[in-house]
Structure 1
Amino acid sequence: MYKQSGPKRVVILGGGFAGVYTARQLLKKARPGEITVDLVSMDNFMAFQPLLPEVISGSVGIADTATPIRQILPGATIHLREVESVDVENRRVICSAGFQPHLLELNYDHLVIALGNVCNFQGMTGLAEHAMPFKNLADAITLRNHIIRIMEEADCEKSEAFRRELLTFVVGGGGFSGVEVIAQIHGLIWRARRNYPNINMDECRFILVHSQDRILPEVAAKLGHYAEKQLRKRNIEILLGCRLRSATPRSAILADGREIRTRTLVSTVPSQPHPVVEALIRQQGWQQSTPDGRKRPMVRLPDTPMLQMEGFSDVWAVGDCAQVPLPMKAGQAQAYAPPTAQHASREAVSCARNILADMRGEKGKAFNFFGIGALASLGRRRGVAQILGVCISGFPAWVLWRLVHLGKLPGIYRKFRVGLSWLFDFIFPSDIIQLSLKQSGGIRQEHYETGETVFEQGDVGDRVYVLIKGEVEVMRHENDQVCRLAQLHSGDIFGEMAVLHRAPRNATIRCLEPSEVLSIERHQFDTLIHCLNDLGRSVRATAESRSNCNDKTDV
């Protein structure tokens, strides 16, 4: 097991509210030389989640919602990696490879898990392929670009039936995210309509699908009814008691069989544990009871009141991925902190305080925060707010929504930028620029010169290759000697064994002449061999043949 003398190493997984604010509090409250902080995040910025819907309509700039993590945490070490696994017995975290194809291992004295949740489309055929998620800044940008592209297409489309399909927008989920997303989609099209002379708002259709009997169940019923009334006044259809069952490229299909022809389907629900959290839950055998009495794996990491993961004194869980118990009130069942930004930021403060207390041999303090209230923007300068039990709606609630979130933004500079964006939004029309964020896909063609290596022995097996043109040799380093195993030609596949077995490369591939290869990313390759049975059998047979011949032509 890892043990370190000197400063204690705290590793934090996740770059959201909970993770970043925990790191900030640790750096702020720790004594000089007491700790080091490592934070692992997929992005080098922290997105301010409550403002993401406003990115859709252009009320705030794209960069205004993101704050560089290095500016918030100047004393921390930032790792831009994906968390692969957590070994709680040996106090070790395994992270994905970077430009160098080697896994990153981080040992820790204390581990904070703040990985949040991921989208879950299990049991809903086609949603993973055809529904647009709304979880992060990239999703907001993608959705805005998509809607602008839709308007560009619809403005020139002659077929009325296809225009109706293009101009139908469906959002699944009537909580805060779903309500704000449908409102901002409507707002974007309503404000941009003057630039598209052939688009009439009357032919646009906006649909909000919600499984419960009213939207915004997080606030008082009268605020939910007010929000519903405001949305319906804008001709936004609200389908209550309905669920999305499946999706195709051209339709959203409800559980009752109704089919809605659309090219825009957004899902704000449901969510499931991050794969690393899910693996931890399975390892520990944590289960919860369903309403019908059956047992199923938990969906959040169980915490103690001190925010330590149950059964561990050196692992802490905060944010959406944690089931944080609240102090029990007389005559009431055990309550848990909801997955909101205000709770995540308070959990971060409490977690940092208790980590330092544990290091110093002091007594920690149980988490105790029941929430101040809830706010939602409905667009068009309308909103709802419930603060300390007081219900506010309309323009005052919308102003309060903006003031509260402006105050919560990290840094004076960020507050100033967002404030200016909102001021300009009052005066000037928003831009309708579609950003072409073209990314290389999971399958790409690559060129290598003579003597270059495609990959080396010991690298992470993250891609499979097909040799299109040229020749390569397969070499292995054994006992300080280099053995040449094979020579591959056009049409040969290599790199499959490491991907199939999730193992490091056991040989090096070097080009004997200028070569072109087709490079297939691991997840894309898994999909191909899973869906194309003949291809899967052929690849596995090749890998088995090489293994049996002790060729292992790589990997």
Structure 2
Amino acid sequence: MDVNTRHVLIAGGGYVGMYAAFRLQKSLRKEIRRGEVTITVVEPRSYMTYQPFLPEAAAGNLEPRHVVVPLRRVLPDVQVITGRVVGIDHAEHTARIDPRDGAAYDVHYDELVVALGSVARTLPIPGLAERAIGFKQVEEAIQLRNHVLDRLDVAESTTNEETRRRALSFVFVGGGYAGVEALAELEDMARYACRYYRNFRAEDMRWVLVEAAGRILPEVGEDMGRYTVERLRKRHIDVKLNTMLESCVDGHVELSDGTRLDSDTIVWTAGVKANPVLAESDLPRDDKGRLPTEPDLRVVGAEHVWAAGDCAAVPDLTGPPNAVCSPSAQHAVRQAKVLGDNVARALKGRLLQNYEHKHVGSVASLGLHKGVAQVYGIKLRGWPAWFMHRTYHVSRMPTLNRKVRIVADWTLGLFFPREIVSLGSLQRPREEFERSALPRQFSPPASRSPELESAHAGGRPEQDGK
């Protein structure tokens, strides 16, 4: 790299990383072409996942490929490294990169954008790491959909009642957006699928939502949270408030209220925490492990470092004193645009702007044609809230290509029934080949007749007179 070239390194390619890179690419296109600035994005996946659409992808309302955006396609002027940032040494202006394959190496930067986001906040609960699945990535959404449908197949095919009950029990831990929307969408899908099974009914399924607090969906307000609990319970979903998961060893779920059940499906969505990679850096952090920023998204006490999204504590200028922005897609997307513009301004020696956005409200889907919303103080429920949820999030989806594909998926869904095929073998693509390739030792029983031997070999037993 030319010594006169300014290098902007963006750690993370999620909401903040991709949108910030997109704004930088647009603002600095002339400088990029003249070789004065280079931009690099480091992300473990080659795409950005639009997480608010994961529940719909899991339920089959959207094609999973349509809720992700390929980074290299939307960032043609940006170098995309498929790997992880595993350490940051800001004193030396270097970041340690662990690529998908090969040895780790250091990358020097002039400006650093930290967009590492968050990871699932887990607890030392026995069996959790071995049995549960998260719900933050499209891979998890696909796997969960396949798993739920596979459990219906198991319940249909077994003669063991204990196995059937276990297969038809689904436990979701966490009453935030991810947990409630994932449970509601998958329950809606599974209830629809039950019409194609003969050995059990929809009423035989057991869906349980476990929440440690006394309410769910705090973002939509207390009234809408109570309404959501009522609607879920009317669908025979067991909503347990003020309850914690104590153990799930071998799928045996034990809750703090004394409930005991066996389940093959345990989904953990009980909160997030700042990416732990930040602990492997010399950057300042607050008591929650986040990077504290100025209103213009510069990290406090670290020159040439910027941050936004879930890994940053961004002052909320529209809230009370010392308030910080909530970790939501609504803030992340808007912060990223301001961040990208401010980095470009800094490189050009211009004045920076502060991030200021009043949270307008929240929307949540509760399955097909069902939802809750509170926007500008107006409370909506049912079909209007569901429609607002879809309208808002499709407007936030990057690129016209993805917007059109998503609307096309929804339009086709109006005329054709749901797809309820389980493709669980996608997680085990070599299983059948390995089964065929393994050497077999076959010794036919001594009592087998020559006629049966001939039939087994592919021939036909001879009949008299022929």
TM-score class, shorter-chain normalisation, is 0.7 to 0.9
Specify the code of the residue in structure 2 equivalent to 1:80: T
Instruction: Tell me how far 1:272 sits from its aligned partner.
Output: 2.6
Equivalent residue, structure 2, for 1:493: none
1:53 equivalent in structure 2 = 55
Distance 1:299 1:439, change over 3 A: farther
Query: Would you say the 8 A contact 1:56–1:188 is kept in 2?
Result: no
Distance 1:149 1:328 in 2: 47
Deviations 1:148-196 (A, max 9, x none): 1101110011122221111011101111111101101211211111222
2:307 alignment partner in structure 1: 317
**Matched-pair contact (CA < 8 Å) for 1:52–1:137:** yes
Contact 1:191 1:429 in 2 (8 A): no
**Cα deviation 1:427-474 (Å, max 9, x = unaligned):** 212222222233699xxx9xxxxxxxxxxxxxxxxxxxxxxxxxxxxx
Q: Say if 2:73 is the partner of 1:71.
A: yes
Percent identity between matched residues is 34
Deviation at 1:407?
1.5
Structure 1-normalised TM-score? Answer: 0.74
- Correspondence 1:344 to 2:322: no
The answer for the alignment partner of 1:423 in structure 2 is 411
Q: How many equivalent pairs are there?
A: 426
Q: Residue 30 of structure 2: SS of its match in structure 1?
A: coil
1:37 corresponding residue in structure 2: 39
Tell me the equivalent position of 1:353. Answer: 341
For the residues of structure 2 that align with 1:54 and 1:147, how far apart are their CA atoms? 14
Distance 1:205 1:407 in 2: 35
- CA-based RMSD of the aligned residues comes to 2.0
Q: 1:217-236, aligned counterparts within 5 Å?
A: 217-236=218-237
Aligned partners of 1:374 and 1:207: how far apart in 2? 24
Listed as ranges, the matches of 1:411-450 within 5 Å are 411-435=399-423, 436-438=425-427
CA distance in 2, matches of 1:262, 1:385: 32
Instruction: Confirm whether residue 275 of structure 1 aligns to residue 276 of structure 2.
Output: yes
CA distance in 2, matches of 1:138, 1:213: 31
For 1:66 and 1:81, the matched residues in 2 are separated by 18
Preserved CA contact (<8 Å) 1:133 1:267: yes
Question: 2:206 corresponds to which letter in structure 1?
Answer: R
> Residue 352 and residue 284 in structure 1: after superposition, are their counterparts in 2 closer, same or farther (change >3 A)?
closer
Q: Distance in 2 between matches of 1:328 and 1:68?
A: 34
Alpha carbons of structure 1 residues 152 and 328: separation in structure 2 relative to 1, 3 Å: closer
Alignment counterpart, residue 18 of structure 1, candidates 16, 24, 29: 16
* Equivalent position of 1:27 in the other structure: 25
Counterpart for residue 117 of structure 1: 118
Q: Give the TM-score taking structure 2 as reference length.
A: 0.87
Structure 2 matches for 1:133-144, cutoff 5 A? Answer: 133-144=134-145
On the 8 A contact 2:318/2:358 being kept in 1, the answer is: no
**Offset at residue 104 of structure 1 (A):** 3.2
Q: Distance in 2 between matches of 1:156 and 1:52?
A: 29
In the alignment, structure 1 residue 390 sits paired with structure 2 residue 391: no
Residue 121 (structure 1) shift: 2.1
Question: Partners of 1:285 and 1:24 in 2: how far apart?
Answer: 27
Return 128-137 or 319-328, whichever deviates more: 319-328
Q: Which moved more, 1:263-272 or 1:167-176?
A: 263-272
SS state of the match for residue 249, structure 1? Answer: helix
Q: CA deviation at 1:25?
A: 0.5
Aligned pairs (5 A) from 1:191-210: 191-210=192-211
| CA shift for structure 1 position 4 | 6.4
1:87 maps to: 89
Letter in 2 for 1:318: A
Q: Counterpart amino acid of 1:326?
A: D
Q: Does 1:161 align with 2:162?
A: yes
Deviation at 1:315, TM superposition (A): 1.0
How far does residue 91 in structure 1 lie from its aligned partner after superposition? 0.7
The CA deviation at 1:245 is: 2.0
> Is the contact between residue 328 and residue 334 of structure 1 (CA under 8 Å) also seen in structure 2?
no
Determine whether 1:374 maps to 2:362: yes
User: Greater strand percent: which structure?
Assistant: 1
Superposition deviation, residue 408 in structure 1: 1.6
Counterpart-to-counterpart distance in 2, 1:20 and 1:374: 23
Q: Secondary structure at the match of 1:82?
A: strand
One-letter amino acid of the counterpart of residue 64, structure 1: H
- Name the structure, 1 or 2, with higher relative contact order (CA <8 Å, separation 6+): 2
Residue equivalent to 2:291:
301
Say if 2:82 and 2:99, in contact at 8 Å, map to a contact too: no
| 1:124, distance to aligned residue in structure 2 (A) | 1.8
* Aligned equivalents of 2:353, 2:399: Cα separation in 1: 28
Aligned ranges for residues 245-284 of structure 1 at < 5 Å? Answer: 245-280=246-281, 283=282
* CA–CA distance in structure 2, aligned partners of residues 155 and 364 of structure 1: 62
Q: How many Å separate the matches in 1 of 2:180 and 2:44? A: 27
Gaps of at least 5 residues in structure 1 are: 289-297, 446-555
